[in-house]
Amino acid sequence: MNRQKRQILVSSALPYANGPLHLGHMLEYVQTDIWVRFQKLRGNDCVFVCASDAHGTPIMLTAEKEGITPEELIDRVAESNRRDYADFHIEMDNFHSTHSEENRELVESIYANLVENGHITRKTIHQAFDEQRNMFLPDRYVRGNCPRCGANEQYGDSCEVCGATYSPSELVNPISVVSGNPPVKKESEHLFFRLADFATMLREWIHSGQLHASIVNKLDEWFEAGLRDWDISRDAPYFGFEIPGEDRKYFYVWLDAPVGYMSSFLQYCRNEGVDFDSYWRPGGSTELYHFVGKDIIYFHALFWPAVLHGAGYRIPTAILAHGFLAVNGAKMSKSRGTFITARTYLEHLDPEHLRYYFAGKLGPGIDDLDLNLEDFRQRVNSDVVGKLVNIASRCAGFVLRTGDGKLAAEIPDPDLFARFAEASEAIADAYEKREYSRAIRKIMALADEANRFIDENKPWVLAKEDGNEQKIQAICTQGLNHFRQLCIYLKPVLPELVGNAEEFLQSGELNWDDLQKPQLGSAINPFKPLARRIETADIEKMLQASREELAPSANH
């Protein structure tokens, strides 16, 4: 089929280099990876980049507490992240770090352009200052009683009890998280990005039809409240890049973190000989998508496009946001063992099972997603094992016995095969729009049809009489061809299972266009189990391991 090849650049939000990945992180990386794999399966040129978000006060303080350098900390966490991505089959084309020369080069260039174009201003502000540690405190490093509801032990920017937002100066009985002493107020001059300069451009972009309605509604609320100047500087001591021409001032992590998308791609371009400007300068035909959580929409849909536009770069095609992950209907909990790290999950359960479950529940909006562990067990066992793999296991043995391990030269119901192939555009549309749950429903409806075809033709009954060998071979060849079509549809979700299925079918690497033509007359390999059932005991062991792992302390 002739489709115009698209050039697409995709990123996931950068993991903060301060601790291990958990299943909430994996929701986003799985969502992104499925979309990227789908684009590549369709023959599009799609590059997936990410990086460690490696700057800021928390990294500086964590490294100090552990008696290591910030660089040692971020290298260790990045290596852990890479292992988790690989084992969850998250296939990034480049994973870099915001603490890199490519990022410094781009951040300094972008800042210089913003200054030259008049989008940076200076203001003197009052901040919480820890006199014992001789440092200004980020909002999250001041705690006290909420000024609205009086709740104890609340952060300096928001209350987790009543949801109020405020400044650290409004906290009652504030203390520094770093030293435990009450902070004082101190003046400091800071650099601000004039976000309101870009109000017209941002409004037009937001209402261009590229963003999901739930995101547009949230952004409109912020417009009504007014776009405020954004503080892009921090005082020493701080782990990050110093601002050229300033005295002991550093770029705020939220300025150089999104630039990490560009710098990771820049490293990829230099390694692969790709033209960086063709993706990032205005006027090109490339597409740029950022997958993020709903909690960082403000930065990605207002601040980031404005910075890019102000510095002479193109703005994103769209920001693709998702909701939060709950486990068993509630916020992830350390005491219940439902605050599950990626590594703890991997030690007990199959990563592709979680990929499938996420896909079955993900849509394009910002609704939260619940990982109900009993539903997870039942759905994977029913769909992946009971429906998909069952087709191959029911048919393979008959082909090996009746056809000497070769598929028949033709199939008995070419119309049914054609109906499976005709579903390709509807399923592709669902993947493209990130309506993965719709795609999975359509694919599993086809799996039911394939199993029904086998049930109605009953090869095991035919095998009781001599002379039915060719008929049995043809029926099971059709069944395996439907299995092959289902594998193509599920390849973005279950890459390892489908890779093993390709080996079993001796089909070579399957792509989207292979849906249209059956595999006939070729040899297959003996069938080996492609998936195992999830047992309740495995889930219980994972929860217990999570409770034990996080009992003494947690990094999050």
Instruction: Summarize pLDDT for 281-329 with one digit per residue, the tens.
Output: 999 899 999 999 999 999 999 999 999 999 999 999 999 999 999 999 9
Number of residues that this document lists for the chain: 556
Residue 334: is it exposed, middle or buried by C-beta count within 10 angstroms (0-12/13-18/19+)?
Answer: middle
Q: Are residues 75 and 206 in the same domain?
A: yes
How many domains is the chain partitioned into structurally? Answer: 3
Q: Are residues 212 and 84 in the same domain?
A: yes
Nearest residue to 253 via CA among 452, 79, 97, 426? 97
pLDDT of residue 171: 93
Is position 262 within any domain? yes
Q: Are residues 390 and 498 in the same domain?
A: yes
Tell me the whole-structure pTM to 2 decimals: 0.95
Q: Are residues 105 and 41 in the same domain?
A: yes
Q: Are residues 487 and 438 in the same domain?
A: yes
Q: Are residues 75 and 175 in the same domain?
A: no
pLDDT of residue 2: 65
pLDDT of residue 188: 95
Is position 549 within any domain? no
| CATH number reported for the structural domain that contains residue 168 in this entry | 2.170.220.10
Determine contact, residues 190/123, Cβ cutoff 8 Å: yes
Q: Are residues 15 and 95 in the same domain?
A: yes
Is position 443 within any domain? yes
- For residue 498, the enclosing domain spans 386-516
Residue segments in the chain with a per-residue pLDDT below the cut of 50 = 552-556
| CATH number reported for the structural domain that contains residue 434 in this entry | 1.10.730.10
| CATH number reported for the structural domain that contains residue 79 in this entry | 3.40.50.620
Is position 2 within any domain? no
Is position 235 within any domain? no
Is position 257 within any domain? yes
Q: Are residues 402 and 319 in the same domain?
A: no
For residue 516, the 8-state DSSP code is G
Is position 546 within any domain? no
Is position 318 within any domain? yes
Distance (Å, whole) CA 147 – CA 381: 50
Q: In angstroms, how far is CA 276 from the centroid of its own chain?
A: 23
pLDDT of residue 554: 35
Q: Are residues 62 and 77 in the same domain?
A: yes
Q: Are residues 202 and 344 in the same domain?
A: yes
pLDDT of residue 3: 76
Q: Are residues 86 and 41 in the same domain?
A: yes
pLDDT of residue 161: 86
Q: Is 138 left (phi over 0), alpha (psi -120 to 50) or beta?
A: beta
Among 147, 175, 193, which residue terminates a domain?
193
Q: Are residues 441 and 459 in the same domain?
A: yes
